[in-house]
Amino acid sequence: MACYDGPVRSRAAGAGAGGIPSRAGLAFVMCALSACAARGPQGAAEAPKGNLRALGLKANADPTVKGSHVVPENVDDDKSLGPEPGGGVRLVVAGMRVVSMPSGAILTSPDRLPAAPSQTMPLPARLGGGFLFQIGTSLWRSDRWLGAATPIYTAPSSISRVVVGLDRLFVRAPTGAYSALDAKTGASLDLGSIPPTPFVGAYAASDGWRAVAIADMRGVVATFDAGATWRPLGLPIDARDVQQYGDAIVVSGTDANRQAVYYEVRGDGQVARLSTPPTRPGVEKPVAVPIDPAARAFGKRPLAAAIEDGWPLTDGTAIVARDGAIARVRLADGALVEASADAFPMRPSRCHPITLARPKDPGAFGFVCGETRGKTIV
């Protein structure tokens, strides 16, 4: 059982650790896990104030954490690329795909993209699902946001736009020419059900049945039968672009007075003029988890505190002591597993772990805590 019984105030305890020198503002905080566990289990409801509640925790004699992975210290949640199921928002930081959790934990991909993608898009289930990343003239794909990403296609020239079609991907070159790809493998396909016209401008598909395109000589055309037929919509505008907005497709252009206008093509085939430009719904951020007062001492990213001042345990967490509180932080993602206030009477304070190893207890350790302008306590 991980526990804490308050600061050890005798020099004998300090000497057992190799003799901690007396310094202004230092206290010696003991946290010998195996010794605590020897007292027998204690119910969570009966745990004294200042104790952690987990049972059976121990520390290795060698505190080295094997294996490593890169985790960004700071992320900007306002640059979210969408919500992740189960909580958190998706981000790309220096080519690394990240999920930032409201609890402060950070999940990262096993690999890094060679550069920050210029376009990131989720692929619908009809195209195999997963995510697509445009990096220069290459397209990369992953089955999951945090899954391994692999390159599937390299264009012979620059890419103007990547478009999700009815049943395939379209890559548009700056000249306006389209190439069709299998979304899972990147293999070249024919143009399929794209409008039968020499030149196709903008194009957007809302599902496997409905799509809208700008075709030369015909204007804005739409299909509602997976491309079997395309019919003109007869919009009184000089159409310039087509974009998907949720379940609808919006055609933008200018009217006879050269004013910007927008028309919405709905799923039932109805067309309506919009009074204002369309806006994409913002990414709804996960509701932040209320911060327990005991957790405030460890900051927005507890993993940083664990790396700086933690001592690893056998269950993959690390014990951290700071500002009178003590906590366990999961090293895999930085989640604060549990925290307890009033563990020791030093606020503010920073604590650094040291070994208290002895023959019968090789995993014992403690903390040396410094308190600004505080008394010398060893």
Are 51 and 342 in contact, with CB atoms under 8 Å apart?
A: no
Taking the C-alpha atoms of residue 344 and residue 29, their distance in angstroms, rounded to an integer, is 8
Alpha-helical regions (H) of 283-346: 302-309
The pLDDT, as a whole number, for residue 23 is 38
The pLDDT, as a whole number, for residue 237 is 92
Residue position matching structure tokens 């005991």 = 294
Are 363 and 356 in contact, with CB atoms under 8 Å apart?
A: no
Are 166 and 227 in contact, with CB atoms under 8 Å apart?
A: yes
**Pairing of the two strands 325-330 and 317-322:** antiparallel
> For residue 107, what are the β-bridge partners?
99
The pLDDT, as a whole number, for residue 289 is 56
**DSSP structure string for 144-184:** STTSPEEEEEE-SS--SEEEE-SSSEEEE-TTS-EEEE-TT
Q: How far is CA 173 from the centre of its chain?
A: 31
Count of C-beta atoms within a 10 Å radius of residue 252 = 18
Domain boundaries, the chain: 11-68+288-370, 199-279
Count of C-beta atoms within a 10 Å radius of residue 163 = 22
Per-residue pLDDT 10s for the chain (378 aa) are 333 333 333 222 222 333 333 333 444 454 444 333 333 333 333 444 567 777 778 888 888 888 877 888 778 877 888 889 888 899 999 899 999 888 788 899 989 999 999 999 999 999 999 999 999 999 999 999 999 999 999 999 999 999 999 999 999 999 889 999 999 999 999 998 899 888 999 999 999 999 999 998 889 999 999 999 999 999 999 999 999 888 889 999 999 999 999 999 988 888 999 999 888 765 555 555 555 666 788 888 888 899 899 999 999 999 999 988 999 999 988 888 888 888 888 888 889 898 999 998 998 998 888 877 765 454
Q: In what order do the strands lie in the sheet with 131-135?
A: 119-122, 131-135, 138-142, 149-154
Structure token pair of residue 161: 């736009």
The pLDDT, as a whole number, for residue 102 is 81
CB-based burial, 45-77: b 16+ in 10 Å, e otherwise: eeeeebbbbbeebbbeeebeeeeeeebeeebee
